[in-house]
Amino acid sequence: MKADHVILGIHVTNRLRNAGEVQKVFTEYGCNIKTRLGLHEVAENYCAGEGVVLLEIIGGHEIRQGMVGKLKLIEGIEVKEMVFSHE
Protein backbone atom coordinates (compact mmCIF):
# COMPACT_ATOMS: atom_id res chain seq x y z
CA MET A 1 0.00 0.00 0.00
CA LYS A 2 1.37 3.39 -1.01
CA ALA A 3 1.37 6.32 1.42
CA ASP A 4 -0.47 9.56 0.71
CA HIS A 5 1.49 12.55 -0.51
CA VAL A 6 0.98 15.28 2.08
CA ILE A 7 2.06 18.86 1.41
CA LEU A 8 1.90 21.63 3.99
CA GLY A 9 2.00 25.25 2.86
CA ILE A 10 3.15 27.54 5.65
CA HIS A 11 2.75 31.31 5.23
CA VAL A 12 5.11 33.20 7.54
CA THR A 13 3.97 36.82 7.79
CA ASN A 14 6.89 38.15 9.84
CA ARG A 15 10.01 36.14 9.04
CA LEU A 16 12.32 38.13 11.33
CA ARG A 17 10.08 37.68 14.37
CA ASN A 18 8.80 34.13 13.70
CA ALA A 19 11.57 32.27 11.88
CA GLY A 20 13.17 30.94 15.07
CA GLU A 21 9.94 29.51 16.46
CA VAL A 22 9.02 27.98 13.09
CA GLN A 23 12.48 26.43 12.81
CA LYS A 24 12.10 24.85 16.28
CA VAL A 25 8.96 23.04 15.08
CA PHE A 26 10.72 21.98 11.86
CA THR A 27 13.62 20.60 13.91
CA GLU A 28 11.26 18.69 16.24
CA TYR A 29 9.61 17.03 13.23
CA GLY A 30 12.78 16.86 11.12
CA CYS A 31 12.58 13.09 10.60
CA ASN A 32 9.07 13.54 9.17
CA ILE A 33 9.99 16.23 6.62
CA LYS A 34 10.77 14.54 3.32
CA THR A 35 11.04 17.73 1.24
CA ARG A 36 11.37 21.39 2.24
CA LEU A 37 11.21 24.44 -0.03
CA GLY A 38 11.30 28.04 1.19
CA LEU A 39 10.11 30.91 -0.98
CA HIS A 40 10.50 34.63 -0.34
CA GLU A 41 11.26 37.68 -2.40
CA VAL A 42 14.88 38.77 -2.28
CA ALA A 43 17.06 41.23 -4.18
CA GLU A 44 20.47 42.81 -3.67
CA ASN A 45 19.09 45.45 -1.28
CA TYR A 46 15.84 43.81 -0.18
CA CYS A 47 14.70 40.73 1.69
CA ALA A 48 10.96 40.22 2.12
CA GLY A 49 9.49 40.12 5.58
CA GLU A 50 7.12 37.32 4.67
CA GLY A 51 7.45 34.04 2.84
CA VAL A 52 6.06 30.60 2.17
CA VAL A 53 7.52 27.23 3.10
CA LEU A 54 6.32 24.05 1.38
CA LEU A 55 6.86 20.76 3.21
CA GLU A 56 6.25 17.19 2.11
CA ILE A 57 5.43 15.30 5.32
CA ILE A 58 5.63 11.59 6.12
CA GLY A 59 4.57 9.73 9.25
CA GLY A 60 0.80 9.64 9.27
CA HIS A 61 -2.13 11.74 10.39
CA GLU A 62 -1.17 12.09 14.07
CA ILE A 63 2.33 13.35 13.25
CA ARG A 64 0.91 15.83 10.75
CA GLN A 65 -1.73 17.11 13.15
CA GLY A 66 0.86 17.57 15.89
CA MET A 67 3.09 19.62 13.62
CA VAL A 68 0.24 21.70 12.21
CA GLY A 69 -1.09 22.37 15.72
CA LYS A 70 2.29 23.64 16.95
CA LEU A 71 2.78 25.83 13.89
CA LYS A 72 -0.68 27.38 14.27
CA LEU A 73 0.19 28.43 17.84
CA ILE A 74 2.83 30.79 16.45
CA GLU A 75 1.48 34.30 15.83
CA GLY A 76 1.44 35.26 12.16
CA ILE A 77 1.59 31.70 10.81
CA GLU A 78 -1.03 30.30 8.45
CA VAL A 79 -0.97 26.63 7.47
CA LYS A 80 -2.76 24.99 4.53
CA GLU A 81 -2.74 21.27 3.87
CA MET A 82 -2.97 19.28 0.64
CA VAL A 83 -3.40 15.50 0.72
CA PHE A 84 -3.07 13.44 -2.45
CA SER A 85 -4.43 9.96 -1.72
CA HIS A 86 -3.64 6.80 -3.61
CA GLU A 87 -6.82 5.06 -4.57
Question: What's 61's domain CATH number?
Answer: 3.30.70.1150
pLDDT above 80 for 7: yes
Query: What band does 1 get if pLDDT is binned at 50, 70 and 90?
Result: low
Which of 57, 60, 54, 62 is closest to 80 using CA atoms? 54
Arithmetic mean of pLDDT over the chain: 91
The number of folded domains in the chain is: 1
Q: What range does the domain containing 54 cover?
A: 5-84
SS3 54: strand
